[in-house]
Amino acid sequence: METIFNINKTSRNVILRFLENHTLEQLNTIPEGFSNNSIWNIAHCIVVQQQLVYNLSGLSMMVSDDMIVKYKRGTKPEHKATQEEVDEIKFLLFSTLEQIKKDFVANIFQDYSEFTTMSGFTIRNAKEALEFNNYHEAVHTGIMMQIRKFI
């Protein structure tokens, strides 16, 4: 499990650099040919992690219903994120990861509703959800690296 968490922390540190090195305007910019922006990709990573690990385990998520509605799979930016939203996303970037680590140690992930991702990978438990999540975040980090070239 430690390797899974270390990979996720590394991913989140890469994502953090996007937040720290881009203005609010840049984070909200959707370049021509793209369907979303960097801040959407970042928040989407947080929301999907929560849905995959907690929601499918039948547990409460650490993100608001409003955040889920804005950033879940199938959504696109419908508004410009405010600095307050960016600050919340920045906080959640690591607080969610730290809580997941604590919850795995506490062994709270007992039940899981099997889920097949859009890429065809079937997740059967919370550990597999975290493993898949690392792939998912890497995909979105790659998209953000492409967006960066145009903002």
pLDDT in tens, 6-27: 999 999 999 999 999 999 999 9
Give the side-chain half-sphere CA count within 13 A for 102.
6
83-125: pLDDT as tens digits: 999 999 999 999 999 999 999 999 999 999 999 999 999 999 9
CB-neighbour burial class of residue 84 (10 A; exposed 0-12, middle 13-18, buried 19+) = exposed
Digit-coded pLDDT (tens) for 27-68: 999 999 999 999 999 999 999 999 999 999 999 999 999 999
Q: What are phi and psi of 122, to 5 degrees?
A: -95, 125
pTM for the full predicted model: 0.96
d(CA 89, CA 126): 23
- Write out the two tokens for 58: 């039948």
* pLDDT of 46: 98
Nearest CA to 20 out of 96, 71, 93 is that of 93
